[in-house]
Chain A
Amino acid sequence: MGMIVHPPELYPDEQINQDVLRPVFVTTWRWWILVAISGGGFMAGLATWFYMMATGMWVTGLHRPVMWGLLISNYVFWIGLSNSGTVISAMLRLSKADWRRPITRAAEAMTVFALLIAAQFPLIHLGRTWLFYYILPYVNQRLLWNNFRSPLVWDMMAIMAYLGGSMLYLYLPTLPDFAILRDHADGIKKKMFTLFALGWRGTRGEWTTLNACILSLALLVLPVAVSMHTIVSWDFGMTLVPLWHTSIFGPYFVIGALYSGMALVITIILILRWAFGWQRYITPYHLDKLGKIMLVAGLVWFYLWFNDYVTSWYGKLPEEKIIFDLKNAGTYYWWQITMMLANTMVTLPLLAFKKFRTSPLAMFILTIFINIGMWIERLLIVVPSLVEKGPSFTWTTYHPTWVEWMLTVYPLAGFMVLYLLFIKIAPLISVWEIREDKVAYATKKMGQAELRAVVAE
């Protein structure tokens, strides 16, 4: 009757193994092409980075007082993207939403890789990258530690906490799947998966501990995700720079991150769905649910954006008005318009319709546009405030160079490379969690009736 329900169908375990594990073992030419393209972009970006390190920061378009530019807006963008994977997975795990099962792994992996990429940007944009370790709190003969009063140190700590948490939160729930892969693989792959599986057998004790661990991690990681994006916002909010110095930035960044991250989760699962024929696992039902979350995130994001907008508009503090006018009447006017169209004005009304939410193609296009909008939004946070801050004698304009554009391609290519490689070492749908679903929704014959077994975890 066409109604979208969950779970749509139940398959035998062998079928699930077959469907989900195939990408790990079977490599198509399309994968190689993608790896070649993204790997090329990644290597080119890496080369650009080393070129910049060897030559000097003058190869960028940065200058006084625009000390941060495209590189930092890329950083904020990718940090934002990293938000949603772990958060959505943790939220849904804690709320025991069973429909999460086919998407958690893909989302968590996205978090880890986006974070790995984003964490490079603070290093990329350092004047002396090779001395980055000065920022780490380790015992040293220089008799100086780092300055814990600096938001950059908070940022570094938060990235470490979130990256650590997300990686463990990705890896530990994958242990049972590595065990499955170990049992299905041979040769060198068997050795590899044996190593990854750590000797997982699936005893009662192992399951009990793992479930407890996953819940603990989810509990710990969820607030750390919030803190991480808040602290990124404080890199801006703690300053005296006009339109950076605002207390709304914390929640604004968190929700913005959730919004753009949700969009990327949807983009990714749709690509996986098409690439591996997982239509039976990732269904319009999921798109609908995720779309609703994204819609809420988008509305809250717009609400907070408008809060910020309207206060600086009404207040008309002179130094703020200068930047405000730059965005809304000056140099950055068309960027602002594009952003509003891409992630709010067109997108949010469309998301309100179930028809759009459940259409894979529409959602694919929509989510891409949302992230374009969100990328512009990061740019509009970082750049305009810097070009006309302080004494008007020093005001300037900012034009990124090819180096910065290369380093904008670099994270995308790097992210794709990491994701493509991950496809080959772990199933992107958690096999055991789907099976658990099957157990949970098992039916029992009682007389003539088929009753659903109610199983508590």
Chain B
Amino acid sequence: MADVYVVATFPEVDTAADGIKRLLDAHFAARNIDVLTGVPYPPETWGLPALKSNIRKIAALFFAIGAACGFTVAAGTGWLYPLPTGAKAIITLPAYGIITYEFATIFGVFAAAIGTLAETRLPTMKSLPYHPKVSEGWPTVTVRCPDSQNIDNAESLLRLAGAQDVLRHAI
């Protein structure tokens, strides 16, 4: 059965936070509640549990992998095709160190970008709950309601908190 989201836009942060508080008080699961905003707000703003990102770790991991790749490619090339040039060693550590670093950065940068997309599950084909007012700066609370009887409840709670526009969004 399709998930139904209740989407409520608020003109102000305070009222939106209030709406979330009401939902939590009504035993809506925190993991089903989200806020769409035009700017990032401090995590504490909504009274929801803080989220963690693994991007830094991913970038660091791939930085290391890139370093290994870079050195392997540079040194391996020298190893397989040992062409002497200018009485430089076949495995020239300073030169290959530079290649190692550049490879590491390329890997790290792209890992951070691809990791971001993966972590945020973007780009997506799904029609996810959204309200155009978000881009006007209106915080918009979305609540996933697995049980259809909770939908009305959520709507009324959010209206009570001062939501301007409350919609249902089914996937």
Q: Which residues of A contact B (CB under 8 A)?
A: 13-14, 17, 137, 143-149, 153-154, 157-158, 160-161, 164-165, 168, 172, 175-176, 179-180, 182-184, 198-213, 215-217, 220-221, 223-224, 227, 231, 432, 435-436, 438-439, 455-457
Contacts and interface: CB of A to CB of B under 8 A. Distances in A.
Nearest to A158: B102
B98 A213 contact: no
B2 interface: no
Contacts of A432: 38-40
B28 interface: no
B95 to A, nearest CB: 5
B46 interface: yes
Contacts of B136: 13-14, 17
Interface residues of B, number: 59
B38 A176 contact: yes
Contacts of B119: 205, 209
Given A199-B124, A205-B119, A212-B56, A157 B103 contact: yes
Contacts of A148: 73-74, 77-78, 92, 95-96, 99
Nearest to A194: B123
A204 B63 contact: no
Contacts of A439: 39, 41
B160 interface: no
B58 to A, nearest CB: 8
Contacts of B56: 212, 215-216
A457 B42 CA distance: 6
8 contacts: A168-B113, A179-B134, A198-B123, A201-B128, A202-B36, A207-B41, A220-B105, A435-B39
A238 B161 CA distance: 68
Nearest to B110: A164
A439 to B, nearest CB: 6
A17 B135 contact: yes
A216 to B, nearest CB: 4
Interface of B: 34-43, 46, 48, 51-53, 55-56, 59, 63, 73-74, 77-78, 81, 83, 85-86, 88, 92, 95-96, 98-99, 101-103, 105-106, 108-110, 112-113, 115-117, 119-120, 122-124, 128-130, 132, 134-137
Contacts of B132: 183
A153 B99 contact: yes
A66 B47 CA distance: 68
Given A176-B38, A202-B36, A204-B43, A435 B137 contact: yes
A180 B135 contact: yes
A210 B83 CA distance: 45
A165 B40 CA distance: 23
Nearest to A434: B39
Contact of B77 (A145, A172, A182, A227): A145
A202 B42 contact: no
Residue in A172, A184, A208 with the greatest tally of chain B CB atoms within 10 Å? A208
Given A148-B96, A180-B135, A220-B108, A212 B55 contact: yes
User: Which 9 pairs show the lowest CB-CB distances between chains A and B?
Assistant: A13-B137, A198-B123, A212-B53, A157-B102, A207-B40, A180-B135, A212-B55, A213-B116, A148-B74
A345 B40 CA distance: 45
B117 A165 contact: no
Contacts of A168: 109-110, 112-113
Contacts of B102: 154, 157-158, 160-161, 224, 227
B105 A199 contact: no
A161 B99 contact: no
A208 B53 contact: yes
Given A137-B77, A168-B110, A220-B59, A203 B34 contact: yes
Nearest to B63: A220
Contacts of B117: 198
A146 B109 CA distance: 23
B53 A145 contact: no
A209 B92 contact: no
Nearest to B99: A148
A436 B40 CA distance: 7
B99 A157 contact: yes
Contacts of A143: 81
B55 to A, nearest CB: 4
Contacts of A203: 34-36, 120
B20 to A, nearest CB: 11
Nearest to A180: B135
Contacts of A227: 98, 101-102, 105
Contact of A220 (B88, B109, B124, B128): B109
A298 B89 CA distance: 39
A213 B40 contact: no
Nearest to B50: A208
Contact of B35 (A160, A183, A204): A204
B113 A213 contact: yes
